[in-house]
Amino acid sequence: MASTVVLADIGGTNARFALAGGGGAGEVARFAVADYASFDDAMDRFLQMRRAVAGRPIAAAIAIAGPVSRGAGSLTNSHWRFSEADISERFGIPNVRLLNDFEALAWGLPLLRPEHLTRIVGRHPAAGYGAVRPPGGPTPGSNGRLVAVGPGTGLGVACLDPDGGGGMVIASEGGHVNAPSWSARIDAIIDWLRSDLGHVSVERMVSGQGLENTYRAVAALEGKPARLQDAAAITGAALDRSDPVAVETVDIFCAMLGEIAGNYALTFGASGGVYIAGGIAPRIIDLLQASEFRERFVAKGRFRTWLEPVPTWLVLHPNPTFLGLEAVASRAVVENL
């Protein structure tokens, strides 16, 4: 693209912005969502910072951690609201595309290179390893549908179907389906959380807040004080094995992530693979590889043999959503020529 395009990845905690002009996304600027009253304020700050190179952008692609409908949406875990029409008018940008953050990430899956991925094989060979690392990166056109699942502030889910003219992404709010159980221990944890939270969605257990929720539940069931208060402290204590409650919490997190990833693979028919993104999983990669993730992924009764060949990948790219956003922005410009 010869002209400037604004890319924005807006989560519940951080808002990330970059400019793209044909050579990929430039330097990413990050702002804390809590520091700004609205998206417009954060966008205005970013454009002021990049005024010398931004000029007047011809397009913007904005991914948000929340549902989008008819060009408008809001963050699930913040008060920020968005409208394509309002953003276009406010900033004088003719082509604005608003989409769910995992819809954007799914568009970027074919653009991931081998160095951006590591295969999650699990600790049980019987759980199946899936396909080997694809040479040259994923090839969705030949490998079937791909699913992206990502625990961060919340839990995102989307599917890329490569068939048809240019492919299609199916966005979802899969993070808000009921949390599944496979044992008496998980039953007890979900029951405890239900008494505290009401509805227990998978996001209530597989996210940063989910780590905190599960930690409180495990501590209560063990009759121990909930010594740690935030997700970073819990994962840190699990990594150095300094807190048995944290160790079990992260074990459950990894197993639940595998359980739901297998469910989503079956739901979407994602024979091409499942990609685990988000900020949490890369920080606990060794624990994830040593966990029950892969066993829970394939433990689907009669459909175990269907899932065993399906590869599971951990996304290591620092900003994978921007890969999809640039593709979406390019299409928006072409469609409006």
Is 324 one of the annotated binding-site residues?
A: no
Contact 211, 172 (CB under 8 A): no
CATH number at residue 38: 3.30.420.40
HSE-CB of 68 using CA atoms within 13 angstroms:
21
Q: Rounded to the nearest 10 degrees, what angle do helices 231-239 and 244-268 cross at?
A: 110
68 and 101 inside one domain: yes
Nearest by Cα to 277 from 320, 236, 323, 238: 320
Give percent of the chain with pLDDT exceeding 90. 77
Contact 106, 324 (CB under 8 A): yes
**Mean pLDDT over all residues of the chain?**
90
Is 12 one of the annotated binding-site residues?
A: yes
Instruction: Say whether pLDDT at 131 is over 60.
Output: no
194 and 61 inside one domain: no
3-state secondary structure of 61: strand
Comparison of pLDDT for 330 and 5, the residue scoring more: 5
Nearest by Cα to 114 from 327, 314, 324, 334: 314
Instruction: Say whether pLDDT at 123 is over 80.
Output: no
- Please, which pLDDT band fits residue 143 given cuts at 50, 70 and 90? low
139 and 280 inside one domain: yes
Report how far residue 309's alpha carbon sits from residue 127's, in angstroms, rounded to the nearest whole number: 10
48 and 85 inside one domain: yes
3-state secondary structure of 62: strand
Is 101 one of the annotated binding-site residues?
A: no
Report how far residue 78's alpha carbon sits from residue 76's, in angstroms, rounded to the nearest whole number: 6
Q: What is the pLDDT of residues 44-84, one digit of tens each?
A: 999 999 886 667 888 999 999 888 999 999 998 889 999 99
Range of the domain at 292: 113-316
Report how far residue 98's alpha carbon sits from residue 91's, in angstroms, rounded to the nearest whole number: 15
Comparison of pLDDT for 155 and 123, the residue scoring more: 155
89 and 57 inside one domain: yes
Reported pTM: 0.88
Is 25 one of the annotated binding-site residues?
A: no
- Please, which pLDDT band fits residue 270 given cuts at 50, 70 and 90? very high
- Please, which pLDDT band fits residue 336 given cuts at 50, 70 and 90? low
Report how far residue 6's alpha carbon sits from residue 94's, in angstroms, rounded to the nearest whole number: 12
Report how far residue 147's alpha carbon sits from residue 102's, in angstroms, rounded to the nearest whole number: 10
Is 246 one of the annotated binding-site residues?
A: no
Stretch (H or E) spanning 68: strand 68-69
CATH number at residue 130: 3.40.367.20
88 and 141 inside one domain: no
Total domains in the chain come to 2
**Beta-strand relationship, 5-10 and 59-64:** parallel
Both tokens assigned to 229: 């208060």
Instruction: Say whether pLDDT at 276 is over 90.
Output: yes
149 and 280 inside one domain: yes
Both tokens assigned to 128: 């199946």
23 and 117 inside one domain: no
Q: What is the pLDDT of residues 23-33, one digit of tens each?
A: 566 889 999 99
Instruction: Say whether pLDDT at 1 is over 80.
Output: no
pLDDT for position 133: 43
